């Protein structure tokens, strides 16, 4: 039931994001092995108007959107993913659904993440992957640290 809810939430957000900003990103992920990640983020940033002096601010304070991407360890594991992201000031939250393919096995995981950073510039986050299925993955832990740089 949780997956149906998040899938509906993801697809409900797509039409509002189609004419929005696109932010590609590269990440390095440590989850037992070292992974690389390429993601395309589509959403809406808001600068929050003006600062205290009345000047227009160009610093993003809110980002909401969806993303699709691909992770790999360049050895034997690759993983397409989709998800949603909400960032406020320096706090970033994400939820992804990832399909890990490794040596003929497939494992689907839900992955909530929370982190800190500068919106649409760089973030560092912690995530915990959970799966309703038996974990068939070798050398891929449930815990992960992720450093992301937006291009």
The CATH number assigned to the domain holding 103 equals: 2.40.160.20
Q: Which domain holds residue 131?
A: 2-46+58-150
pLDDT, position 7:
55
What global pTM score does this model have?
0.76
What percentage of the chain reaches a pLDDT higher than 70?
A: 78
Segments of the chain scoring below 50 in pLDDT: 17
pLDDT, position 71:
95
Closest C-alpha to 4, from 141, 132, 150, 136 = 132
Structure tokens at 119: 């919106």
pLDDT, position 118:
82
Residue 123: inside a domain = yes
Residue 107: inside a domain = yes
Give, for 77, the enclosing helix (H) or strand (E). Answer: strand 77-88
Look at the chain and report how many structural domains it folds into.
1
Q: Measured between alpha carbons, how far is residue 130 from residues 33, 113, 114 in Å?
A: 17, 12, 15
Residue 41: inside a domain = yes
Residue 51: inside a domain = no
Residue 53: inside a domain = no
pLDDT, position 17:
47
Closest C-alpha to 106, from 82, 141, 83, 135 = 135
Going by their DSSP bridges, the two strands 21-46 and 140-150 should be labelled as antiparallel
Residue 52: inside a domain = no
Residue 16: inside a domain = yes
Structure tokens at 50: 């003006």
């Amino acid at each position: 039931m949780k997956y149906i809810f998040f899938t509906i939430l993801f697809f409900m957000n797509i039409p509002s994001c189609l004419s929005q900003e696109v932010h590609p990103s590269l990440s390095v992920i440590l989850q037992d092995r070292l992974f690389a990640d390429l993601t395309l983020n589509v959403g809406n940033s808001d600068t929050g108007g003006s600062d205290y002096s009345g000047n227009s601010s160009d610093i993003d304070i809110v980002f909401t959107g969806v993303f699709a991407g691909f992770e790999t360890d360049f050895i034997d594991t690759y993983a397409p993913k989709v998800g949603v992201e909400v960032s406020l000031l320096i706090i970033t939250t994400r939820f992804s659904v990832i399909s890990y393919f490794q040596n003929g096995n497939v494992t689907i995981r839900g992955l909530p993440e929370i982190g800190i950073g500068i919106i649409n510039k760089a973030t560092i986050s912690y995530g915990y992957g959970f799966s309703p299925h038996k974990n068939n993955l070798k050398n891929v832990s449930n815990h992960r640290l992720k450093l992301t740089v937006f291009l």
